[in-house]
Structure 1
Amino acid sequence: MVGRGGRAVRAVNINPKGFSRDQLKIYAYIVPLCLFMLLPILYIFTSAFKPISELFAFPPRFLVANPTLDNFSRLSQTTQQSTVSLGRYVFNSALVTLAVVLLSIIISSMAGYAFSKLRFRGSGLLFEINTIALMFVPVAVMIPRYLVIDRLGIINSYLAHILPLLSMPVGLFLLKQFIDQVPDELMEAAKVDGAGPLRVYWKVVLPLIRPAIATVAILAFQAVWGNTETSSMFTTKENMRTLSFFMSTLAAQNTGVAGQGVAAASMLIMFVPNILLFIILQSKVMNTMAYSGMK
């Protein structure tokens, strides 16, 4: 790449395979910041494996000296005392999470394709409304959501979990920005071959936006997996509630020093799937952040 004055400028690789000296300055800023942000996660991890003697230690210890699985054993004993089996909570969470992730990808990608490549009246206004929706936190629209769910008559059903979480303005925004980078020539070539809008979306657009789809999948998974609002607002039957609600209840019941280990164990169980999913799809996320900002 040639910069101003005819001098050569080295391109930045978003996801480099090796290490170079040019990265030292970046790592000098990023590594301390990452370590600082990891401290709460590390504290939860160490607390989950601390015996009661270390939980009561003064001054408190950040790291664990004698790791044990007693907190997880106590957590298992607590779940066995519940009127609903742990498997039921896991099934509810898995079903709701899978449904929301898949439907969010389908809806956001189709809407992003329409806003980006299909010209129709009012598209600009509708997309601006979606952008404005990014400013609203879920709590601000919880009462209208409850009124809608109640009038639809789907209280105490899986739809009460799924429908409120399908609204993902950030997913639509991200996919639309990514689809904007798909060359129109590719779509015109597909149309010349006789492909309609749906076939162009399926055969041309979707394969090219896989990194963005992976990012939306992570965002949707994180929003659903840790969600407790739908269980507390839209369900009254215990067998329709999710694992995150059950674990948050256990954490709230163990607020004392002796219960910190059990609370940390429950939070660690809920956190592990998020980090595993991100590790698997991290390269896709980096590519999305790079290409969605291209002009």
Structure 2
Amino acid sequence: MKLALQSLRWGKRKVNRSWYGNILNVLLLAALGYFMALPLVFVVSSAFKPLDEILTYPPKFFVQRPTLSNFSDLYNLLSGSWVPFSRYVFNTFFIAIVGTGAHVIIASMAAYPVAKRKFPGRTFLFTVVVLSLMFSATVTQVTNYMTMSWLGMIDTYWAIIIPAIGSSLGFYLMKQFMENIPDALLEAAQIDGCSEFRIFWNIVMPVVKPAWLTLIIFSFQSLWGAGSTVGSMYIYSEQLKTVDFALHQILAGGIIRIGPSMAATLMLISVPILIFVFAQSNIIQTMSSSGMKD
């Protein structure tokens, strides 16, 4: 009897985390965060270093004499090109915004019937999509180039946008999130007379907001840096090329342009980081406030 009462008291006792354990966890997370932030801090610091500090050996991590000469040199180099820099900026944002928006909408519309409606071949279709995730972009480059050539889209924006829209990652991500939506919620909407499109747009999409915000991050980051990699295969006209391709041309000028190249690197990573920070805050807020149970 005494053992039973003692075990009952132990069961009611709250398990408190050790004060030393909390400090250790905080220190461990701070150390990991510090090492993960080092590359970003180094890029920011190098963008403001004068040329002699950049070439100093052994290299110094932090800038000693900050200067804006790298950015002014970068501006002069870009101003000397026969295509205005604003054209490169427009091309980059057009490809990233249109490709990301179309990918999110089309992937969501394709994932909705597969996740919440039953029709013949649904399982086979999803299996094919999952298998396509096993192949890297390098494997499909030749096929994509042949397809874009047959469609007459070589040397156009759509040669980069169309393959990005058809990426299977967005379909898979949206389908997995939509499966967690209670069927009772959709059935109640149908009883109230809502059409399928209204159910999808006014009910399903707000519920899966964390999924499409995450998809926006992945899609925008991939399209933002696609100009100098995938885009160089499809786009040949200088007036259609993107910012990253124009900035990478600076590296061809030799070691004397290493300062402007550091400033260019900072410019390239700044926009995706800002998009990630903005979307991440929304994801955390939505996940903490829109949990649903069947």
Using the size of structure 2 for normalisation, the TM-score is 0.86
Change beyond 3 A, Cα 1:236–1:7: farther
Q: Deviation digits for residues 238-279 of structure 1, max 9, x if unmatched?
A: 1111112212222x32552x4322111111101111111111
Corresponding residue SS for 2:138:
helix
**Which residue matches 1:15?**
none
Rounded Cα–Cα distance in structure 1 between residues aligned with 2:20 and 2:166: 44
Rounded Cα–Cα distance in structure 1 between residues aligned with 2:30 and 2:130: 33
Rounded Cα–Cα distance in structure 1 between residues aligned with 2:115 and 2:160: 30
The answer to whether the 8 A contact 2:210-2:287 is kept is no
Change beyond 3 A, Cα 1:27–1:116: farther
**Which residue matches 2:261?**
263
Rounded Cα–Cα distance in structure 2 between residues aligned with 1:9 and 1:157: 64
Q: How many equivalent pairs are there?
A: 279
Amino acid in the other structure paired with 1:37: M
Amino acid in the other structure paired with 1:240: L
Q: Deviation digits for residues 194-246 of structure 1, max 9, x if unmatched?
A: 12221210121011111211111111110101112343111111111111221
Gaps of 5+ in 2: 1-9
Amino acid in the other structure paired with 1:265: A
Change beyond 3 A, Cα 1:35–1:255: farther
Change beyond 3 A, Cα 1:91–1:187: same
The answer to whether the 8 A contact 1:211-1:287 is kept is no
Pairing of 1:13-92 with structure 2 (within 5 A):
24-92=23-91
Corresponding residue SS for 1:62:
coil
Rounded Cα–Cα distance in structure 1 between residues aligned with 2:170 and 2:20: 36
The answer to whether the 8 A contact 2:42-2:62 is kept is yes
**Which residue matches 2:188?**
189
* Cα displacement (A) at 1:9: 8.1
The Cα RMSD (Å) is 2.6
Change beyond 3 A, Cα 1:71–1:181: same
Rounded Cα–Cα distance in structure 1 between residues aligned with 2:64 and 2:184: 62
Structure 1 or 2, whichever has the larger Rg, is 2
Change beyond 3 A, Cα 1:160–1:46: same
**Which residue matches 1:13?**
none
Rounded Cα–Cα distance in structure 1 between residues aligned with 2:192 and 2:275: 38
* Cα displacement (A) at 1:35: 1.8
Match for residue 271 of structure 2 among 261, 270, 273? 273
Q: Deviation digits for residues 2-57 of structure 1, max 9, x if unmatched?
A: xxx966889xxxxxxxxx99865543333222222222222111111001121222
Amino acid in the other structure paired with 2:236: T
The answer to whether the 8 A contact 1:212-1:284 is kept is no
Change beyond 3 A, Cα 1:192–1:25: farther
Change beyond 3 A, Cα 1:91–1:56: same
Rounded Cα–Cα distance in structure 2 between residues aligned with 1:109 and 1:70: 46
**Which residue matches 1:136?**
135
Percent identical residues: 33
Rounded Cα–Cα distance in structure 1 between residues aligned with 2:14 and 2:111: 34
Rounded Cα–Cα distance in structure 2 between residues aligned with 1:114 and 1:31: 44
**Which residue matches 2:206?**
207
Rounded Cα–Cα distance in structure 2 between residues aligned with 1:131 and 1:185: 28
Change beyond 3 A, Cα 1:157–1:187: same
Match for residue 284 of structure 1 among 262, 282, 286? 282
